[in-house]
Every structure is written in C-alpha cells, then in structure tokens.
Amino acid sequence: MLNIQAIKKDFPLFEHEKNLVYLDSAATTLKPRVVIEAEKEYLERYSANIARGLYPLAEKATKKFEMVREKVATFIGAESAREIIFTSGTTDALNLVARLLTSQLAAGDTIITTVMEHHSNFLPWKELAKKNVLDFRVIPLTEEGTIDIEILKKSVDEHTKIVALSAISNVLGTINPVKKITTLIKNINPNTIVIIDTAQAVSHMPINVSEWNADFVAFSGHKMFGPTGVGVLYGKLSLLETLPPVSFGGGMVLDSCADETLYKEAPYRFEAGTPNIGGIIALGTAIDYMESIGMENIQTHEHALTLSALKRLQETFGENIHIIGSTHPEKRSGIIAFTLGGIHPHDIASVLGEYNICVRAGEHCTTPLHRSLGLHTTTRISFSIYNSEGDINKLITILEEIQTIFNK
C-alpha cells in the first residue's frame, strides 16, 4: 500500500493547486521536488559542459551525467551502459532509430507496426517504408483490444526487417506481451529488428530489456517523473556497433582531419552536440525516486485503482459508458479511455477542468487506432502514484453532473 498523502507532499504542484485531481499522467507525470532540485543544483552549482572541460566543475558534470547512463542501464536491465543513448524524448529516439536503420534496408524488405501505436511509433515507420518503397504492414486488434498475434505471426517472414510496437498502448492501456511477441518474431526471422516504445510502461512496471530480447527500446523522461526534453534510446550493443552515425557535430568525433572521419564508439557517436545535461542528471534522480517507492508497489497501486475505476464507471454509467481497450482488466495498465453517451469528449474535459480535474480528450496522437474503432475522439484518464480512490470519487461525481447537464 502506498502512502498517498506522503507521496503527494513530494510534489510541489499539490501545494500550489490545493484541490488538484491530476488524471493525465499518460501525457506527462508531475515532477517531485527532488527532481526539480537536482536540475536546479546543476544549473546553480556546476553548470559546465560535459566530456570537454578538464577543470573540476566540468569533471563533476561529466561524472554525474555518466552515472545516469549507468543508472538507466541498470533500471531497464540493459547489459551495458554503452547501450544507452540519450535523446530529447521517445519521439526523438524512435526517429533516430528510423534514421539509423536506413543504412540496413534493402529492396523487398517489410516494416511492421500495429494499429494501436502512438503517431511517434507509427509515422517514422510509415515514412521510412514510403521513402524506401518498402511494404508497410499494420497489425490490427482482436475484438478483445489486444494485438492480433495470429495475424502478426502470418505477417512476419524472411523479408521482415523491422517490427515496432508499444509495451503499453497510450489509449487502450493494453499491456502487450513483449517477451512473447519478440520470441515469436525472432523464431520466424532472427534478423528482424524489434523496436519497443516504452513511453507508457517505464514508470508503471518493472522493465527488463534483456529479458524482452528487444533490439531497441525508447522512452521519455517526462513520463517517468523527470524533466521534459530528455529521453532514452536503448540499443543492443552488438547492433549499435555496426551502425554509422546519422547526426554530426561536437562530442562524437575522434579525428576529423583524415579523409575518413573517425567517430567515437557507441553510444557517443550517436550523441552529437551538447545534450540537456541538467535534465539528464535530474532523470537519474527520478529513477532513484521511483526505486525508493518500488516499481512493483507502483504497479500494484495503479492496478488496484484501475480495477476500481473500471468497476465504478461501469456501475455508475451502465450502457451509457463505452470503455475502449482490453476486456481483460488483468491485461490493462492505469489508462482508461471512454465515451459517455453522445457527450463530446472536449465538453467532458472542459467541465472537469473547471473543477481542477485534469483529463485528456481527443485522439491522443493515435488517429489510426481511433479510426479503426470507428471513433473520432475519446476522454482519457490515467493514473500514477499520487492518485487515490478519492480522485475516482471526485471524477465520478462530476461526470454524473455532466451527464445530467448535457442530457437535459
């Protein structure tokens, strides 16, 4: 059991917004004080550049920065810190893989993704396929709201170069069986590169990329209690070592005077230019913070809230509410998207907003998914460690009012 009152005290926003009910952590999590302080400490006390200066402040910044690389590697079960590339977020990480893999593509290759993907894990692949005239396949959902594994099985063959899918859907909340899917794909074609978008999983469940046997994994700092503008691309070292850099500049070069420029080894050759140093140092603090609570405890807490919210919403609104996503609550994370009667999700979100209840309304950057379900928009709530049953009570009370007002 998490002590929600104590956890809320860790987040300064709750001091400034006394009656805040924050149900939009899938968009971005709130930031704990320790994370804000870590970034501030870098900016105030040792804001030197990294991997360049030879004076103590620069050495301190470099050491702290590289310690985060080690920390991220351990946190996600990578075999080496050299497998961790810092990016500006999930979107940047996925676009980077798409550019890195351009050199690996050949005529006749196939790229596969799924209909439940966020645009960040859909468009880079669609564009890559288009640019290289490759076959682009999109795996549909089963009626239960999970990836249709039978169709995936039939779609993977000797031509499959890339399969990209999410660990958790940002709309359906579906938890995909990543290890099972990766094993299935690699059994059919061991050369297929499997890419996992972990944006919605990384702060909600324990992750082990080595167990998954994924080739690339992407996530954002701001969805795991860290700052915006930082993210991670994990890549298997054996693969990274074969890939040429695609961005060029400072910090990634050994010798640029010879005809052939000599680049640093992975991951540094993929990190041209000055990164968001303070943000990455604060990301390390965000990992410490999550670990102090415990990833399993976080998962248990959010799961209990999800089960309760699903039950309460169904009991209160009956046939008027249409909850999308897996019909198996056990396969869901703390994300619930729904429609309520004929009320426009924007109206629902605006009225809830007047009560300082923050939810998301729209397509949630998943047009293919919404269209495949015959929907334009949905309302989405999403849980994190600072949410409680009290938040569900307030949500349901105001949703009942909204239903009464709009049905008059």
Q: Is residue 121 close enough to count as binding ligand PLP by CB under 6 A? A: yes
197 binding ligand PLP? (CB under 6 A): yes
* 169 or 285: CB nearest ligand PLP: 169
- Read off the DSSP letter of residue 174: B
CA distance 137 to 164: 11
89 binds ligand PLP, rule: CB under 6 A: yes
Residue 135 pairs in a beta bridge with: 110
- Look-up: residue for tokens 């939810």? 359
At 280, list the tokens: 């990455």
Q: Closest distance between ligand PLP and the C-beta of residue 86, in Å?
A: 13
CB of 116 closer than 8 Å to CB of 366: yes
* Distance (Å, whole) CA 168 – CA 117: 9
Helix (H, G, I), strand (E, B) or coil at 141: strand
Query: Is the Cβ of residue 196 or residue 309 nearer to ligand PLP in the bound state?
Result: 196
Instruction: Select 29 or 220, whichever has its Cβ closest to ligand PLP.
Output: 220
365 is catalytic: yes
Find where tokens 């019909």 sit. Answer: 327
User: What are 390's two structure tokens?
Assistant: 């009290």
Among 199, 209, 280, 313, binds ligand PLP (CB under 6 A): 199
Residue list 214-243, contact with ligand PLP (CB under 6 A): 220
The residue (of 220 and 387) whose beta carbon lies closer to ligand PLP is 220
Catalytic residue among 61, 361, 365, 395: 365
Count the Cβ atoms, other than its own, within 10 Å of residue 330. Answer: 8
Residues touching ligand PLP: how many (CB under 6 A)?
Answer: 12
Interhelix angle 345-354/389-406, nearest 10 degrees = 120
> Looking at residue 81, what DSSP letter applies?
G
Residue 87 or 388: the one with the smaller Cβ distance to ligand PLP is 87
**With binding defined as CB under 6 A, does residue 95 bind ligand PLP?**
no
Asked if 200 interacts with ligand PLP (CB under 6 A), we say yes
Q: Hey, which residues does 321 pair with through a beta bridge? A: 340
Give min distance, CB of 383 to ligand PLP, in A: 14
Site for ligand PLP in 141-170 (CB under 6 A): 166, 170
The interaxial angle of helices 33-45 and 277-293, nearest 10 deg, is 150
Print the binding letters for residues 276-305 with ligand PLP: x by CB under 6 A, - otherwise.
------------------------------
Cβ-based neighbours of 302, under 8 Å, separated by 6 or more:
204, 333, 334, 383, 384, 385, 387
Minimum distance of ligand PLP from residue 380's CB (angstroms): 10
Q: Kindly list the residues in this chain that would bind ligand PLP in the complex (CB under 6 A).
A: 89-91, 118, 120-121, 166, 170, 197, 199-200, 220
Q: Which residues are catalytic?
A: 365
